[in-house]
Structure 1
Amino acid sequence: MTANGRSKRTIIIGGAPLPDMLDEAMIRLVVHGFYDEIRRDDLLGPVFHDAIQPEAWPRHLAKMCDFWSATLLRTSRYEGRPLPPHLAISGLGVAHFRRWLKLFRATVHRIC
């Protein structure tokens, strides 16, 4: 592990190495910024409000940072299975997923 929290291995995504600016701090900015948008969104906000109690948000955000750290930086910090909790939420559909993707992309473009 390097000083910026990256694996010493070069990580290739889409045929190109990840940019040096991608580190734990960047992941935290994206995750927190994204979920700020989610919580304000008229479609997704109520879903997340019902699924995550206010006192559970810090733990959820930390878990999402761990997930993206493990996925992008290969830190092995995330333990869990991300799909089952989402499948347990009734009423989720294609519109929710499309909005999630739209907000995620917008957050990444805004911050990165």
Structure 2
Amino acid sequence: MINRIQSIASLTGSNGVDQIGKTASSIMGTPGATPGQAPGMDFATVLGNMATDTMTSLKGAEAMSFKAIQGKANTREVVDAVLEAQQSLQTATALRDKIVSAYLDITKMQI
């Protein structure tokens, strides 16, 4: 119990206040930025990263399948890699369908 009190007391000193302030500022990010949003990230970047991650997942599943054919990987590793690639592909396909649907809705709007 005394150790807990000492650790709390160390936070209330001048160094502790500075540490708390630094931690809060790192959590809050830069002033004027939208909370919860990383600076410099936009929708196109997120979609690009998602596409890259999906392709990496698909290539990883393919590589794992080749390793299994060569006898260098067991069945569980192959199944895990293929299921991960399948989930990534389904997510990308669903997102593509939503984007196309939204685009078609926008084009049907009257000006």
TM norm. shorter chain > 0.5: no
Give the TM-score band, short-chain normalised. under 0.3
When Rg is computed on C-alpha atoms for both structures, the one with the higher figure is 2
